[in-house]
Homo-oligomer: A and B are copies of this chain.
Amino acid sequence: MSEVAYLPTGKRELTKVANRQAILDAARKVFGELGYETATVRDIIRGTGLAAGTFYNYFKSKDEVYLALASEGARQFAPLLKAQRAQSAGWEEFLNAAIEAYFLFLADAHKSWLSQRPPGETQPHVHGETPEMAAVFNEVREAIVEEMANGGAPITDPDYLAAACIAIARDVGEKMLARRPIDTKGATQFAVAMIQGGLNGLRQAED
């Protein structure tokens, strides 16, 4: 309609991407520290240099930014998990692959987020989990459940077993993040050994 069409400059595009990222970063931090309910949109934008309304140029709602974070995490993680699983021959290898993938994701994410949450300052009623962690964890859960349904780990009570494996992965992963240096190899060995041992224990108990 107009004679002169201004194309978006590289600079503009850059700040747009940067702002989006800044909001995502701030949101991740805030959700991790405060939890979804307690975190406010204003808490999030305070972490960027932006104004309140600007948030809504990038995300339609508080919920949407949470979901964006979660699905971004899942999207990045899914191929890693898949690749690891593809290489695995049996249950033990699968388990090792899945847990290692999860721990690597956690470690990587943790490093790049510089979560820096002052230790011990945990608020009451708070998750302590970023949306991405939640999403990625769900991927692992599903992989384990699926593998188990396929007969990967034939044992009396697959429901309890899945719950237990997942629980170990989650909580050992969390502990791992609290240590320096972050040792994914060690944590993976621990978790896998414990789960495999547990399986043996359960087989014996069955008799």
Residues of A within 8 A of B (CB): 1-3, 11-12, 15, 18-19, 22, 35-38, 48-50, 54, 63, 66, 124-125, 156-157, 159-161, 163-164, 166-168, 170-172, 174-176, 186-187, 189-191, 193-202, 204-205
Contact = CB atoms under 8 A, between A and B. Distances in A.
- Number of copies of chain A assembled together: 4
Contacts of A15: 2-3
Grouping DSSP codes into helix (H, G, I), strand (E, B) and loop, the A interface class, with mixed when no group exceeds half, is: helix
A144 to B, nearest CB: 12
Given A171-B166, A197-B201, A12 B22 contact: no
A40 B78 CA distance: 37
A125 B36 contact: yes
Nearest to A202: B193
18 contacts: A1-B22, A2-B15, A2-B49, A3-B15, A35-B37, A36-B125, A37-B38, A160-B176, A160-B191, A161-B194, A163-B168, A163-B175, A194-B199, A197-B204, A198-B198, A200-B200, A200-B201, A201-B201
A14 to B, nearest CB: 9
B194 A164 contact: yes
A164 B197 CA distance: 13
A196 B176 CA distance: 22
Nearest to A156: B190
A11 to B, nearest CB: 7
